[in-house]
Amino acid sequence: MFVLGITGGVGSGKTLVAKLISKKYNASLLIADKLGHIVMEPDNAAFEKVIDRFGKDIIGSNGKIDRKKLADIIFNDNTARSALNAIIHPEVISYIRKYINDRKDKDGIIVLETAIMYETGSDKLCDEVWYVYVPADIRIKRLSDSRGYSEKKSQSIIESQKPDKFFTDRADRVIDNSGDKDRLNMELDALANYFVKD
C-alpha cells in the first residue's frame, strides 16, 4: 500500500488535488477535516472528551455535537481552540494509523489530505508528501470567489499558517496549482508512473 500525503495552505486547492488523484488512480481518500467530524460522532473516541471540556450545551437535538455551537465557542478563543485541537488531533491520527495498518499488506493507494501534515506527525505515516503550492495573491482571490472572504480575512489566515518554505523544505514534491484545472490535471497525469504499475 502506497500512502501519499497531500498538504497545502488555505486556498491552495489541496482537497481538489487529493480528490483528483483519488479518482484518477482509484485511491482511498482520507481528508483529515472530515475525520475530525467522524471522531466527534457519538460512540466515537472524542465525543465524551469534547463534551467534558465544552459542556452538554453543545449537544444538538439529534444527540450529536452541534458543530456550529462549538465553532462559536472557539472562534475568538485561542485557549478553547487549542483545547479542542488537543482532543481531536490525536484521535484523528489514531484513526488514520489504524486505517493504514489494516491495509498495509494490500495493493493500492491511500491519499491523506491535511493542512497540518507536519505539525501532527502525519508525514511519518506517508511514503511521500506532496505540497500544493499557489502564490498568496491567487489564494486570496480564490478564497474571495469560493468562500466570500475579505482580502483582510484571507491574508490573516494565510499569515497564521506556516510559510511556503516550511513545506517546500520538507515535502518530497511540489505541485503547482496556480493555473486552471486543465493544467493541474496535466501535471497530475505526468505523475502516473508513481501509481500505474506495468
Domains within the chain, CATH numbers bracketed: 1-27+108-198 (3.40.50.300), 33-105 (3.40.50.300)
Ranges in the chain, pLDDT < 70? 195-198
Cα dihedral: 22, 90, 50, 76 (round 10)? -80
In the prediction, which pLDDT does 172 show? 94
Number of neighbours of residue 44 by Cβ within 10 angstroms: 13
Positive or negative torsion for Cα 193, 128, 14, 26:
positive
In the prediction, which pLDDT does 195 show? 66
Q: How far apart are CA 140 and CA 151, in angstroms?
A: 6
Beta bridge mates, 59 = 65
In the prediction, which pLDDT does 197 show? 59
Of 27, 1, 10, 26, the closest CA to residue 134 belongs to 10
| DSSP at 63 | S
Q: What is the pLDDT of residues 100-115, one digit of tens each?
A: 999 989 999 999 999 9
